[in-house]
Amino acid sequence: MVNHCKTGQNGLKQQEVVVVMVPLPAQGHLNQLLQLSRLVSSYNIPVHYVGTTEHASQAKRRVHGWDPLAATNIYFHSFKIPPCQTPSPEDSNLSNRFPSHWLPIFSASSNLIEPVSKLLRALSITSRRVIVIHDSLMASVVQEVGVIPNAESYNFHSVSAFTIFLYIWEQMEKKPIEYSNLLIPEDIPSLEGCFSSEFVDFMKSQYKYHKNISGKVYNTCRVIEGAYMDLLERQSKDKGIKHWALGPFNPIKLNPDRRRSKSRHYCLEWLDIQDVNSVIYVSFGTSISMSEQEIRELAIGLRRSKQKFIWVLRDADKEHVFNGDHDLGRAKLPKGYDDSVEGVGILVRNWAPQVEILAHPAIGGFMSHCGWNSCMESITMGVPIAAWPMHSDQPRNTVLITKLLKIGIVVKDWGRREKLVTSEIVEDSVKILMASKEGDEMRKRAAELGSNVRRSTGEGEVSRGEFDSFIAHITR
């Protein structure tokens, strides 16, 4: 293992290389860069994870599959920023579900510029090189990198390589490319309804700070998206920007001692007594609160499918996720619903250990919003997806999952996003995924893909080689 310390000219003990992670303060983004911190620190490289006080706490408390507090080489920097007023999540507009209630905290992240700049300058004195890996939407916060001679920055894209490529291709006015008939399926979902206009403005405000990056990193691997990584590399070859597929970030081998842990989640105990591939896991992430009507239709559809399920039913995250209860409220479910599904379904009204659930042999399917974090976790664990996209990159992730990888089905058609998903649609979707020949074939493909992804992280394999290459580059 490389020794990452030396003594500098000033007589101080110097780190060879340190890495600073700067995530966007939203759960899917916080989690991915914390998981990447675990992987980088395994190479004996110190990692400094920065954020607001509330969001650093959120990242640590919600991570699953490992304990960040037990990591000796990861250092958390929690900075106080002025409080901001965030509106309550809205659930009435089915045509645009983007979580606009997060925008104030995204904008307030500009208050991190000064403390992060001070941290980078301090680390630059005691390190030969400072590597900053920042969310693509936090570029303005790390602008100090441009004036620190021994610092360099890497843009982290929290979405799939497929989604990033489509964006670039559309900016090129859909210029014909080689093998386009294989790589770009027909009927790519429109971006209409994916974002709010305010968020588009926020994204654009970050682009001008992308000029000095040394490379781009992705939570994907070439087993899944090799063709799209190749296309992205071709597009930026003349600019000298390198691309690395460093995923999967999430743990792929979970601690077997967790089975005997007193802190083990109750739903895992229930899964232990279920048959292999007999349970569908239902969860739609942290950004959306479903309407009462949507909850009712989903509840009835799950019950009518007669398939066993675990359903995470909770409110969207607000600014301070640990202040107050995120329970959606039992009143929104049909009267007596809990009793009517006893023994068949479990409702989880708080945070659930998603990676551990997906890794359990009893799980045979995942009804998901298709956020990229969830997609990668499901793919890694070999679980097929019933796709119910809500906003952002999710409609296009649905295309990747269902049309290209062929490991899922569509529950909600993006072209009909303003229509309510009825209990009949839910029932049919669950039956197809969990109790049909078509579902069995998807499950087989998902299991094979998951096995290939996990194998690729082994010594001498493609994903491990990609990560080794990145570490060699930043420690050169």
Q: What is the pLDDT of residue 10?
A: 36
How far apart (Å, rounded) are the C-alpha atoms in residues 438 and 181? 25
Contact by Cβ (8 Å): 316, 89: yes
Instruction: Convert the pLDDT of each residue in 189-223 to its tens digit.
Output: 989 999 999 999 999 999 889 888 999 999 999 99
Query: Stretch 9-18: mean pLDDT, rounded?
Result: 59
Q: What is the pLDDT of residue 3?
A: 40
Tell me the domain boundaries of the chain: 16-251+457-475, 257-455
Distance CA 145, CA 421 (A): 47
What per-residue confidence (pLDDT) applies to 232?
92
pLDDT-derived band at 26 (thresholds 50, 70, 90) equals confident
- The structure tokens 């303060």 sit at 25
Q: Given the residues 4, 101, 134, 135, select the one marked as catalytic.
A: 135
37-51, 177-191, 364-378: least confident range: 177-191
- CATH entry, 16-251+457-475, from 3.40.50.1950, 3.20.20.80, 3.40.50.2000, 3.90.1150.10: 3.40.50.2000
Q: Is the CA virtual torsion 260, 261, 262, 263 positive or negative?
A: negative
What is d(CA 329, CA 332) in angstroms, rounded to the nearest whole number?
A: 6
The mean-pLDDT minimum among 22-31, 283-292, 307-316 falls in: 283-292
- Stretch 265-289: mean pLDDT: 92
Which of 77-81, 226-230, 464-468 bottoms out in mean pLDDT, i.e. has the lowest? 77-81
Distance CA 413, CA 391 (A): 12
Candidates 3.40.50.2000, 3.30.1950.10, 1.20.1600.10, 3.60.15.10; CATH matching 257-455: 3.40.50.2000
Q: What is the pLDDT of residue 389?
A: 96
Helix (H, G, I), strand (E, B) or coil at 135: strand
Query: CA triplet 277, 278, 284: central angle to 5 degrees?
Result: 90
Six token digits for residue 398: 């649905």
Taking the C-alpha atoms of residue 385 and residue 379, their distance in angstroms, rounded to an integer, is 9
Structure tokens given for 255: 């601690």
Residues 105-126: pLDDT tens digits? 888 889 999 999 999 999 999 9
Q: What mean pLDDT do residues 221-239 have?
A: 89
Residue 27 has pLDDT above 80, yes or no: yes
Give the position of tokens 């796709």.
Answer: 387
Q: What percent of the chain has pLDDT over 70?
A: 87
135 is catalytic: yes
The predicted model gives 134-153 an average pLDDT of 95
pLDDT score, position 173: 64
More confident: 174 or 265: 265
Two tokens, residue 182: 């294989």
Whole-number average pLDDT of the chain: 88
**Alpha-carbon distance 435 to 450, whole Å?**
21
* pLDDT of 90 above 70: no
> Which is it for strands 242-245 and 213-218: parallel, antiparallel or unpaired?
parallel
| Given the residues 29, 64, 101, 360, the one annotated as active site | 29
- 250-259, 260-269, 436-445, 451-460: range with lowest mean pLDDT: 250-259
- Does residue 149 have a pLDDT over 80? yes
| Cβ atoms within 10 Å, residue 171 | 10
- The pLDDT-based confidence of 255 (bands split at 50, 70, 90) is low
Lowest mean pLDDT of 4-18, 225-239, 259-273, 321-335, name the range.
4-18
Q: What is the pLDDT of residues 376-422, one digit of tens each?
A: 999 999 999 999 999 999 999 999 999 999 999 999 999 999 999 99
Q: Is 440 buried (19+), middle (13-18) or exposed (0-12) by CB count in 10 A?
A: middle
Residue 14 has pLDDT above 70, yes or no: no
Q: Decide if pLDDT at 91 tops 80.
A: no
Q: Can you tell me the distance from the alpha carbon of 209 to that of 42, in angstroms, rounded to the nearest whole number?
A: 30
